[in-house]
Structures are given as structure tokens and as C-alpha cells.
Structure 1
Amino acid sequence: MHFALMILPTILVILCGHFVRRYGIVPAAQWPGIETLSFRVLFPAILIVSILHSPLQISTVGPMTIAVALAFAVTGGLIFVLHGPIRRAGLDDPGFTTLFQTALRFNGLLVLALASDITGPEGLALISVVVALTVPVINIVSIVVLARYGRGQATLRSVAAQVARNPMVQGCGIGVFLNLSGIGLPDFLLKPLEMMGQAALAVGLLAVGAGIQIRRLWARSGWMWLGIGMRLLFCPAVFLIIATAMGLSGLPLLAGLITVAMPTATAGFIIARQMGGDAELYADIMTWQTVLSALTIPIWLWALS
């Protein structure tokens, strides 16, 4: 019960966003603009501020980042190894790209909001650094797989351009540069970023809730459940095994677990639609992952304790 209560405020804000959209308090047509505001302005702001204030010590950040990266690598690698059997079992290549994406991607808006509630500023800073280091790699790998197995076409230049234009990547890059260079920011620039960062958490969670489509919860397929299990169960389990073997403990262990236990990112749905992936399957998996993570995250926090 204690662990469920830890994420209850986050769940309530997500539910608020869902009902605000469902009952037309904010019309459905306006939510894409709210999502764009969160993704392109508010969350880059909180990443810049968090990383700027973070002591980027390799001894703290390095092992945690390695454990997270290895967990994602093992999860994505297993899906890739299973490509042949999955194809022979009846799932086409666009569907395979969706399984791959939903196993690797994590919802950055949700992980930062939850980190702020559970781990406080120190954990938020650690997770911000992990986001800075893992999001570009996950984006590149996912886009390359889509370019190879999806219905669309992509070049190395277009892949690099998509990653470079990602606002989360840009925000992380700016934060790391300002931190390591020692330049910092004057108060008249830092204060507006802090204000936008405070707004980011609530607005981002409302947008996550608004994106939940109840009709998707009636979808049923073995492939959908495979995608759910790989993200919410397999990847966190692999992380805990790796982190334990590395001797990771305390706040870095908690922050890393929260990162790998998140549901998949909404950005993957857009990329799947643009690059010839199975966008419908992605939407089904994403909706179920978001809802079920309200149960699995407290279970993983309990397991960690």
C-alpha cells in the first residue's frame, strides 16, 4: 500500500488529464498543441535546469547509466534475436518494429514527473543525466530499425536530423554543456526556465492522461501482451539483476529502476506512423502499458525495498 501511495499523486493528475479531455473541458483538438508545448518547451526547460544543477560525478552517474543502458540493450537485443520466430509466427516486419520500439522507448515526461515526486531533486538530476545519454541512442537505434524493416524509407542524414531536432536531446545537450563548461546561467535566464520546469510536470502528466484511449483497452493480441511484458516486466528485472551484480544501491538504484519501469513514449507512435511501422499496434501497447504501469511500478518499488 505504501508504494502505491507513492505514485498516487501522479496517477491522479493523469486521470484528471483523461477526464478533462474525455468530457470536453479542454477540447480534443487543442491537446496536440498542449503536447507540443510540453515536448518542445517545458520539458527541455526542466532538463536544462536539472542537469545544470546536478553534480555530474562519473562515480555516481556512470554505474547507474551503464546498468540502465545494459538493461535496454538486453531487452532490445532479445526482441531483435526473436525477429525470425516472430515473423514465422505471423507478425509482419512493421509489427516487429513496433515491438522493438515499445520495448526500448520510455516516457520521458512521466519518468521526470514521477522522479520529482519519489526521489526529489537529487534523483531528478540523476534521471535527467540518464535521459541525456540514453534518449539519443534509443532514438537512433529505433529509427534505424524502422528504416530497415518499416514500410517507409530513411537515410542516415534523415536519421541524424530527426535526432538532432529532438527537443529532449537538445535540452539535455544544453544542460550538459552549461554544467561541464562552468558557464552557468544568469538569474534573469535561470528563473524563467525554473518556472517553465515547474509547469512541465503537471502539464506533461495531464497530456499523458489525455492520450489514454479507453477503446484501446478492448484490444487483445499475443503480440500486444509481449510488448507490454518486455517493457514493464522484463526490462526492470534485467536492470535489477545487472545493478545488483554491479553493487548499485541507494538513490542511483532507485532512479535507475524508475527509468526502466516506465511505459513507452508517445513519440514512438508518431515515428511509427511516419516511417511505416504498425502505428495501431503501437497505440494499443502504449495505452495498456500506461494503465498497467500504475500497478507494476509499485510492485517494482516493493521488490527494491
Structure 2
Amino acid sequence: MNTAYLQALEFTFSVTAPVFLIVFLGLYLKRKQHINDEFIGIASALVFNICLPTLMFLSILNSGINLAEQARLAIFAALAAIISFYSFWWLSPLLTQDPQDRGVAVQSAFRSNLGIVGIALCAKAYGGPGLAVGALLLAVVTPIYNILSIYALTKSLRQNEKLQWHRLFLDIIKNPLIVSIACALIGLAMGWQLPAILDETGRYLGSMTLPLALITIGGSLSLSALKKASSLSAYTVFAKLVLLPAAVTLAAWWYGLSGVELGCLALMFASPTAAAGFVMVRAIGGNHQLASNTIALSMLGSAISISLLLYLLRLNALA
């Protein structure tokens, strides 16, 4: 039994420690002014528009996964995202009486940082198969996150304003990640194989993705936001890091998922609040301070919560 505990502990730290050390390296580099906001902005755009789409495309195309066999996983992930949103939406009046904070809190509680932290953890924990499954989950859940986040913010901040569904749909289908994953799924179904030169070039670009993305996440963290964190921020982060991953993981296990699928699903939903949520809240005129607080708190807290979740999964030989 002691050996099992030690092996589970060793596996857990081998996955989570490198990821969060690079995040904290980004925080250190920003504080020492080795990087600045301009660098973070340019690097984030490079990751979002070029590097991450390339990584996702190659991960799926070269994975050899059977799309028909992954249908159960895709359906479960979509339902988990939708049910978690409406659960937090219905419960949110218990946390705040301010209708304008309702949408911000709900978005922060249900929306995970899939494209950076989640993918990095899947890749570190399960290698190539983890990247492929993570990319598939990203493709399924990202549009749902975008639609429901805009709905929540519009409903709470601009209660008399109608959603412009056509514009939202266009934004989703033009998202570089969605485009790259859709192309990869088509290529996988048709048996595409890239020329060696293009494949190797893509691997160079893809290898930049995770370290550069994690450094920008760390550089974007605001320690001053932590000093202004409210009780609403703390409750929201508890829901994000504890309630959501526990519920999704248990439901997935009951549903019959196991191994890489269960592990990647748990890691994705356990990831901290998506940094993109701050941009969306600020653009729509919401409480961006609350959004900033929850992002910072969830990023720091997830180093512990994700490690504990992964440790329990490994100890019980579930993933």
C-alpha cells in the first residue's frame, strides 16, 4: 500500500509541478521586468492564432483515434459543460444579490482554461494520446463555453438586449482553434498524411505552444488582485476547483469512462478559470475586477486542487 501511495504521489508531481513551475516562472519574469505587457500580448496572439492551432491539428491528425469510439466521450463532455453552467446559474442568487455580478461569477465558475492549462496537463500526464483526447474535448466544449458565457453576461448586464446569434456563430466558426481541429478531424477521417517537411515544421511550431502559453499566463497574473479578492471570489473559485471537477469526474466514472479519457476529462474540467473570460467581461462592461480576482485565485489554488484530484485518480487506478 505504501508503494502505491508513493507511486501515485510521484506521478502526480511529475505532471503538475512542471506546468505550474513554468506559470510561476512567467510571474517572476514579469515582476523582474524581463517580459512586459507588450510581449505578453504578442506572445498570446502567436499562441492563439498559430502555435496552438498547429499543435491541435497535428495531435489529432497523427493520433489514429477512432472518432466513432470517441462519440460517448464527446457527448458526455458537451452535457457536462451545459449542465454545469445551468447548475451554477440557478444557484448563483445564493452567492450574490447583485444581478450584474451574477454572469461574471457563473462564467468564472464553469469555464475552464482548456486551451493552455488543460491541454498542458493532458500532454504531460498521457503524452500523445492525452493531447489527442484533450484536443477533441477542446473542440467540443469551447463553442459551448463561448455561447453560454455570452448568454450569461448579456443576461445579467444587459437584460433588455437580445443576443446577436449570427455574429456569435461567425465568431465561433472563425476561431483558429475550431478551424484547425475541424480540419484535423476531416483529415483523420479521410486518411490524410502530411509531407515529412510540413509535419516537421508543424512540430517545431507546436513545441513552442505550451511553454510560451504558460509563461504568458504567469505574466498575466495579478497579485494585487488577490488583495482585493472578495468572499464572492472565494466561493466562485471553490465551486470551480472543487465542486465542478468532483461532480464531473464522479459522473464520468459512473458513465463508464476510464483511463486516458477519464483522466483528460477530469484535468480539463479541473483547470482554473479561463483567462479569456476577463477579456469578455471587460469588453461587455462587467465587473472585470471580480473576473481578475477569480482568475488569479483559481490559478494559484489549482496547483493544489489538480494535484489532489490526479493523485486520487492514480491511487485508485482510475486514470
Counterparts of 1:184 and 1:147, CA distance in 2: 43
- Give the aligned partner of residue 145 of structure 1: 152
| Change over 3 Å in CA distance of 1:60–1:217 after alignment to 2 | farther
1:212 match: 221
Alignment of 1:1-305 (within 5 A): 1-2=9-10, 3-58=12-67, 60-86=69-95, 89-93=96-100, 95-107=101-113, 108-151=115-158, 154-304=163-313, 305=315
Deviation at 1:131, TM superposition (A): 0.6
Offset at residue 203 of structure 1 (A): 0.5
The separation in 1 between residues aligned to 2:195 and 2:170, in whole angstroms, is: 31
1:252 CA drift (Å): 1.1
The CA distance in 1 between the partners of 2:289 and 2:170, in whole Å, is 25
Q: After TM superposition, give the deviation of residue 83 of structure 1 in Å.
A: 4.4
Q: Percent same amino acid at aligned positions? A: 24
**Alpha carbons 1:116, 1:123 under 8 Å: kept:** yes
Aligned-pair CA distance for 1:151: 4.0
Over aligned residue pairs, what C-alpha RMSD do you find? 1.9
Residue 6 (structure 2) aligns with: none
Unaligned runs of 5+ in 2: 1-8
Give the stretch that moved more between structures: 9-18 or 68-77: 68-77
Distance 1:222 1:151 in 2: 24
Q: Per-residue displacement from partner, 1:30-55 (whole Å, max 9, x unpaired)?
A: 21111111111111110111111123
Counterpart contact for 1:40–1:167, Cα < 8 Å: yes
Unpaired runs of 5+ residues, structure 1, are none
TM normalised by structure 1 equals 0.92
Mapped partners of 2:28, 2:177: distance in 1: 27
SS in 1 for 2:70: helix
**Alpha-carbon deviations, 1:265-297, whole Å to 9, x = none?**
111111111123322111100110001100001
Provide the rounded CA distance (Å) in 1 between the counterparts of 2:188 and 2:154.
35
CA distance in 1, matches of 2:289, 2:201: 38
Mapped to 1, the partners of 2:140 and 2:81 lie a distance apart of: 12
In structure 2, what is the Cα distance between the partners aligned to 1:133 and 1:68?
7
TM-score between both structures, scaled by the size of structure 2? 0.88
Letter aligned with residue 256 of structure 1: L
Counting matched residue pairs gives: 302
* Paired residue secondary structure (2:286): coil
* CA deviations over 1:233-278 (Å, ceiling 9, x no partner): 1111111221121122111111111111101111111111112332
CA contact (8 A) 1:16 1:209 kept: yes
My pick for the range that moved more, 255-264 or 3-12, is 3-12
